[in-house]
Homo-oligomer: A and B are copies of this chain.
Amino acid sequence: MTESITEPKTGLATESATGMPAVPEQRPGDGHEATTLLERARVAVDPALRAAIGSLPGPMRRVALYHFGWEQADGTPAGGGSGKAIRPALVLAAASALGGPMARAAAVRAAAAVELVHNFTLLHDDVMDRDATRRHRPTAWAVFGDADAILAGDALQALALRLLAEDPHPAASAAAARLADCVIELCAGQHADTAMEQRGPDEVTLAETLAMAEAKTGALLGCACAIGALYADAGDADVAALDAFGREAGLAFQLIDDVIGIWGDPRRTGKPVGADLAARKKSLPVVAALTSGTPEAAELAAVYATPHDEEDDLEEIALAVERAGGRDWAQTQAADRMARAMQEVARAVPDPEAAGGLLALAEFVTRRTT
């Protein structure tokens, strides 16, 4: 499953994923607040992140600096960004929403730890999935080999948990336990993803596809928000609500991302329509279509039973998914998940102004910015 929240997009999101018209002027909720939060998170977290990575022994440091986009493969500086810092921004926004600026400042190290875990899983997932490109560059294993990419990932996980072990904040232990649990859930999600891709098109259920997406994408967004809440000294119910908020927003993101993987994104140049269909990816709209019981479901299953070739008409396949209800289902689900996310955050943070950062980030990741 594409994990592209951190992929550089074409800039400020000014149009919804569903093709709503762009809204050029900046106003609350149009993504401006989110990009400000992301930039502030990057400024706050980068020093801790760079210090942690700088502490690694040479070979792992080199791979990590390359993976984060801070160095070229030959060790010369690179101007590329290391992704959007969505997860650190969620940690800081959750801490801020529940505990104000003091909690936000205290959570910086934890936010760096969450980002390290995210990048450890990216390094390993790319090895397992044989993905050769990330953030418009060759992946670490493609440049340094499998062994060094695996070792760099292992080291980033250790760095993440060391950051929390060395953090004197009273929430650090609970955050570390939660982050370790999340790693295990991410591994389960990656396993499920790989296993499902190897099964036939009629052997996958929608429930397990949703569960996989929650484990693979929702879990770490939920964990980021929960850790922010822990650093604000929140009670169990609020921590759980923030976790649920992040998970629902993560699922909404994945649903929208899967829609874009089939029908394309007018804001993205270069992303071909039907890319996921050509790869025969069992993304959420596809599985919804495959399990719809419609005539198009059987048609789609037949297409998915053989690999993509030149005779494939990707637009026709996309139309079959749409006619089988896959597109509508995904968009309804995404809206439903976002509504649930809003409910969860309202439960823990009744003051809309305090909750504003979290809501802006959730809207940003789902690109529901209009």
Point out residues on A near B: beta carbons under 8 Å: 56-57, 59-60, 120-121, 124, 127-128, 146-148, 150-155, 157-159, 161-162, 164-166, 172-174, 176-177, 180-181, 183-185, 187-188, 190-192, 194-195
Contact = CB atoms under 8 A, between A and B. Distances in A.
Contact of A191 (B147, B162, B173, B180): B147
A180 B161 contact: yes
A147 B194 contact: yes
19 contacts: A56-B184, A57-B185, A59-B195, A60-B184, A60-B188, A60-B191, A120-B154, A150-B150, A151-B187, A154-B187, A155-B183, A157-B157, A157-B183, A158-B161, A158-B181, A158-B187, A161-B180, A162-B181, A165-B173
Given A128-B150, A147-B128, A158-B157, A165 B177 contact: yes
Contacts of A124: 150-151, 154
The 5 closest A-B pairs by CB, nearest first: A162-B180, A165-B176, A158-B183, A165-B177, A57-B188
A49 to B, nearest CB: 16
Contact of A59 (B57, B121, B148, B188): B188
Given A148-B191, A176-B176, A184 B159 contact: yes
A215 to B, nearest CB: 9
A249 B161 CA distance: 28
A162 B164 CA distance: 11
Q: Determine chain A's interface SS by DSSP, over half rule.
A: helix
Contacts of A158: 157, 161, 180-181, 183-184, 187
Given A159-B180, A162-B180, A180-B165, A151 B190 contact: yes
Contacts of A146: 127-128
Contacts of A157: 154, 157-158, 183
Nearest to A121: B154
Given A57-B187, A157-B183, 19 more contacts: A57-B188, A57-B191, A59-B188, A60-B187, A60-B188, A124-B150, A128-B146, A128-B147, A147-B191, A151-B191, A153-B154, A154-B154, A154-B183, A154-B187, A157-B158, A158-B181, A161-B165, A161-B176, A166-B177
Nearest to A163: B180
A190 B195 CA distance: 29
Nearest to A172: B173
A174 B127 CA distance: 32
A158 B157 CA distance: 8
A196 B121 CA distance: 27
A192 B191 CA distance: 29
Contacts of A173: 165-166, 172-173
A59 B147 contact: no
A103 B146 CA distance: 41
Contacts of A121: 154
